Each structure stands twice: as structure tokens, then as C-alpha cells.
């Protein structure tokens, strides 16, 4: 066994950060005898009765023969890191595009690899823009119905799409470009009414073109206006085409500074126009930035839930059906729980990412329950799993997940197994790993290590360069995880181990978390690291 000697020139406590929870002999640290690569991990795992898998990415698997060759040689099964997720398949219009997924499936099937489906329900890596628009969580901006609402179009003296209907007693309608008389842009409407017509606003009128409306729908009308002298008065009215009666706004008192006037109507005709009525009070009026938009009401929580449930059904049913018989096991639900052990919602989960929608915030317990039901209906023979992270270090979350699985099964859901991701570090505590596997085994369900990787630089030290000592500790942790899995999970309940990636530079920790780390079994040159032997030794010890 190779040893590295460290001479302690400071108190032992100074070295605690280096070794974490590992036991340490003063003066000596072992790198471990992790050099045996004479057997493939997948062969040793098969001998122990379960598959060994690697998580793969689309681009290197399709285009890098060294990467794909390593996967084909080393793995029994593969999990797609992204290509089976909602965001990879669902388009902005809700259609499903399986082009790249099919290509990757075909590549793996041709290579004799089993495919583990990941994942049908997750709050990330999905087309959240489509889901929010479809469900009404995002309220779409209403369309402007007026043509030329800001009076910017027309000749030097007229306005496109606007007409003078009445101009009694010498009233005039003209264009002003004086900056102080324009609310925005370069032009506004100036209406001069030289004679008061008390009770007869209609005697000076400017009308818009007709615009389409929906009978029974509400519309909000607004405009900016001010008068040259105090005591101005204006109102809006409507005319219709195709039935319906005129509607009248109450007279509005207009002062000498810009003010916003709004009026909401319920349409009673398939076509409507608005009219500015200014005949009552003699004055000069300046009008700009008019608008007519339909009032779009936010849907209720129940309406949102119905829409999201429909979207969930559509994605799960189509995806599971498409790969029925090829994909024989699925992560139906991924990362359902917040770190405090409660179901995820918009308060305990960050919702800032453009790909994030927290299903359980809107669907509650029905989210996972329905997801399992939809998956089972699409392929009754497929094995269905729930998957989560930090179960080895967060007993509250672990207990919540196990309790929730009991709820699902009590309500008729087919839950075949639990996946523990195990994104861990070289100094993760052994006790938590053992306790987790014991609790998972007690469920009687299939148990799989679904996304294993072991960080070698968990404290994100700058300028970190791994050495044989740290590679040895990493290998030791891989070895311990597999030993613990084999020790506490009965053989009939083992459904395999998947390492989450192939080579270090392609790890999600490096590519998406932007960390300096080396968490996988193969280095940048696809050479086997001591971590590879760490797994192999544990598997061989059982034979």
C-alpha cells in the first residue's frame, strides 16, 4: 500500500479541514491500493445481479467515438442527463419533438445498452415558458386594438384611422407637434372647441376606426389628456356595428396638466369604435396615447391545476408510450422535496430559472400521484421510481420521502422503487450513508444509486489540483458507498448503480455548476482513475 508521509508542523486541529471526517494517523495518510482494473465494473456488477450504468450527454455520445466507446465498453445501462426531460422534448407551442431523443435511443439500443428513463416529472429542465403560458400562470399581454393609438401616423394636418364626426360652431381638430403639448412621441391631437354646448358633449366628436370585440368581454379604454384652461370637460362614448347599443362614460373634469383617464366597458357588439366627446365646455384639449385592450382575467388556482395536469398527462403518456418496451424503468418523479422535508412550492424553491415550474405548488399531492398513474397506464410493465438527493445526509428529507411513498401506494399508485442520487464528496460521513441504506431497505422496494459522483474539491478551493492522496480518498468513498449498498440492500432489492457522467470535464459539476472538480471514474483522457478500482474492489469482495 502506497503511503504519503506528512510531518505535522502545526497542531492537529489545523489539518482537520484537509481530511474532514476521515480518520487520520499522525504522520501518515494512505492513498489506498486502488490500481486493479483487470475486470470491468459492469461484469462484476452483473455477477452480483444488477446493472452498472453511466449518465450520458447527447453531443459527445453522438459525435465523440472515444466517449461513446468508453460508454459501450464500461456500462450495462445508460441514463440520459437531459434528452428525455420535458425541456428537451416539449416545444413552445406544446408540440413534442423527439428527434434528438430518438437518435440517442437508437444509438444506445444499437450498442446493446439498456436505457433508464429520466425523468418524467421535475421542477427544472422543462419548457416552463410553455407551461406557464398554457396554464395561465403567465398572463399574456393584451393586444392593442386601436389603430394609430398615439396619433403618430397621418399627414401634417390629419390622423390616420381617426375621423372628425362633429365640429359644431367652428370647432377644429388638428395636429400638434409642440413638445409640451405631446405626451409621448412627436405628435398629439389638439381639439379647439370655441363654444360651450352644456349637456351636448356630442357636438364635438373625434372617432376611431372600428375594432373587433367579443360580446360579453370587458375592455379597458385609456387616454392622456389636458386642457389649455381650467374647467375642461370630456367623455368617451361608443358606437357599434352588428348590433349592440352605444355606451357613455361620465363627464370627466379636465385640468391643465396631463392626466390619465380610464374607462372599462363590456362589449355588446362584434365591432366597436370609441369617440372623444368634447362639446360641453369651450376649451382647447390635447389628447395622446389612447388605448383599448381586452381585460384578461387571471385564472383561478383550480383552472391552473386542470391545465397543468393535462400537460403532465400529455407529456408522460406520449413519452412512456413512445419508448414502451425499450425503456423498462423510469424516474417518474424527481426531487419532490425541499431540504426541510416538505413538498416543493414557490416559497421553498427558487423559481428564478427560465426552465423552472414547481408542479406541486399548483397540484399538491396530486402531482406525483397522477404522474405515477399516467406512467403506469402508458406502460403497465415498466418499473416506476421516485428519485431524490441528499438522502444520505438529510434524514428529514429521507423520512419524508419514505412516508410519501407510503401515501402514494395507499392511494393506488404503482411505486416500484426509490432512487438515491448520492452527489457526495470524499469526506461525506459514513454513518449517514449506512443509515440511509438501512431505511431504504426497510421499504421492501427496489433501491438504486441513481446519480453517484464524488467531489474531490467540495470546498471549492481556488487553484485546486488533485494529487494521489485525494484520488485515494475519492476511491475510498466510492468503495464505501458500494460496500454499504451491498451490505444493507438485500440482493432482491438491488436495481443497480449509475455514476452520473463519464469523464471529469463533462461532469455537470464542472459544466453547469462551474466548479473546479474531478468527480467521476475517468479523467480527461478517458483513463481509469483510482475511483474506478474503488467500485470494482467492493463488487469483487462480494463474489
Active site residues: 451
84: buried, middle or exposed (CB in 10 Å: 19+, 13-18, 0-12)?
buried
Spatial CA neighbour of 175 closest among 193, 194, 192, 159: 159
Distance CA 211, CA 189 (A): 20
Distance CA 173, CA 376 (A): 70
Strand-pair category, 252-254 with 232-241:
antiparallel
What is the number of other CB atoms lying within 10 angstroms of the CB of residue 541?
Answer: 12
Question: What does 105-123 look like in DSSP terms, one character per residue?
Answer: HHHHHHTT-EEEEEEEE-S
What is the number of other CB atoms lying within 10 angstroms of the CB of residue 351?
Answer: 14
* Residues forming a β-bridge with 223: 261
- Would you put residue 341 in left (φ > 0), alpha (ψ -120 to 50) or beta? left
Distance CA 523, CA 529 (A): 7
Distance CA 443, CA 416 (A): 10
Matching residue, cell 408522460: 316
Query: What are the two backbone dihedrals, phi and then psi, of residue 224, each rounded to the nearest 5 degrees?
Result: -105, 140
Distance CA 286, CA 254 (A): 10
Rg (CA), the chain: 34
Amino acid at each position: 500500500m502506497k503511503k504519503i508521509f506528512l510531518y505535522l508542523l502545526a497542531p492537529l486541529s489545523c489539518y482537520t479541514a484537509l481530511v474532514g471526517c476521515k480518520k487520520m494517523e499522525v504522520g501518515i495518510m494512505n492513498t489506498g491500493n486502488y490500481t486493479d482494473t483487470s475486470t470491468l465494473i459492469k461484469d462484476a456488477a452483473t455477477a452480483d445481479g444488477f446493472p452498472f450504468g453511466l449518465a450520458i450527454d447527447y453531443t459527445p455520445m453522438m459525435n465523440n467515438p472515444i466517449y461513446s466507446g468508453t460508454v459501450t465498453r464500461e456500462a450495462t445501462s445508460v441514463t440520459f442527463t437531459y434528452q428525455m426531460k420535458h425541456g428537451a422534448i416539449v416545444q413552445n407551442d406544446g408540440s413534442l419533438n423527439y428527434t434528438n431523443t430518438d437518435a440517442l435511443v437508437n444509438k444506445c439500443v444499437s450498442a446493446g445498452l439498456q436505457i433508464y428513463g429520466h425523468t418524467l416529472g421535475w421542477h427544472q429542465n422543462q419548457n416552463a415558458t410553455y407551461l406557464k403560458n398554457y396554464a395561465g400562470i403567465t398572463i399574456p399581454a393584451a393586444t392593442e386594438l386601436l389603430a394609430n393609438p398615439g396619433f403618430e401616423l397621418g399627414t401634417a394636418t390629419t390622423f390616420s384611422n381617426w375621423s372628425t364626426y362633429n365640429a359644431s360652431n367652428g370647432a377644429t381638430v388638428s395636429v400638434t407637434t409642440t413638445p409640451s403639448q405631446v405626451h409621448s412621441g412627436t405628435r398629439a391631437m389638439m381639439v379647439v372647441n370655441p363654444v360651450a354646448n352644456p349637456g351636448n358633449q356630442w357636438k364635438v366628436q373625434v372617432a376611431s376606426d372600428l375594432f373587433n370585440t367579443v360580446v360579453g368581454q370587458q375592455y379597458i379604454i385609456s387616454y392622456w389628456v389636458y386642457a389649455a384652461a381650467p374647467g375642461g370637460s370630456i367623455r368617451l362614448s361608443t358606437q357599434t356595428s352588428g348590433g349592440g347599443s352605444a355606451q357613455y362614460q361620465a363627464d370627466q373634469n379636465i385640468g391643465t396638466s396631463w392626466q390619465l383617464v380610464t374607462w372599462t366597458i363590456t362589449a355588446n357588439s362584434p365591432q366597436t369604435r370609441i369617440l372623444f366627446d368634447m362639446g360641453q365646455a369651450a376649451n382647447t384639449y390635447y389628447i395622446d396615447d389612447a388605448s383599448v385592450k381586452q381585460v384578461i382575467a387571471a385564472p383561478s388556482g383550480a383552472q391552473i391545476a386542470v391545465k397543468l395536469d393535462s400537460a403532465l398527462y400529455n407529456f408522460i403518456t406520449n413519452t412512456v408510450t413512445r419508448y414502451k418496451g425499450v425503456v423498462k424503468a423510469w424516474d417518474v418523479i424527481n426531487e419532490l422535496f425541499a431540504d426541510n422535508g416538505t413538498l416543493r412550492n414557490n416559497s421553498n424553491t427558487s423559481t428564478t430559472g427560465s426552465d423552472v415550474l414547481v408542479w406541486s405548488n399548483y397540484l399538491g399531492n396530486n402531482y406525483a400521484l397522477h404522474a405515477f398513474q399516467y406512467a403506469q397506464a402508458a406502460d403497465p410493465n415498466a418499473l416506476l421510481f421516485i428519485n431524490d438527493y441528499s438522502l444520505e445526509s438529510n434524514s428529514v428529507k429521507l423520512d419524508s420521502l419514505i412516508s410519501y411513498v407510503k401515501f402514494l401506494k395507499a392511494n393506488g399508485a404503482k411505486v416500484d422503487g426509490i432512487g438515491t442520487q448520492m452527489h457526495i464528496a470524499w469526506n461525506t460521513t459514513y454513518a449517514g450513508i449506512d443509515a440511509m441504506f438501512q431505511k431504504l431497505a426497510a421499504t421492501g422496494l427496489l433501491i438504486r444509486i441513481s446519480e453517484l459522483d464524488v467531489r474531490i474539491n467540495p470546498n471549492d478551493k481556488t487553484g485546486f489540483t488533485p494529487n494521489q492522496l485525494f484520488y485515494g480518498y475519492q476511491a475510498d468513498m466510492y468503495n464505501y458507498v458500494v460496500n454499504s449498498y451491498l451490505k444493507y440492500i438485500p440482493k432482491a432489492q438491488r436495481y443497480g448503480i449509475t455514476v452520473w457522467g463519464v469523464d471529469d470535464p463533462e461532469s455537470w459539476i464542472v459544466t453547469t455548476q462551474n466548479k473546479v472538480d474531478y468527480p467521476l471514474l475517468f479523467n480527461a483522457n478517458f483513463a481509469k482513475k483510482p475511483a474506478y478500482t474503488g467500485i470494482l474492489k467492493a463488487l469483487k469482495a462480494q463474489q
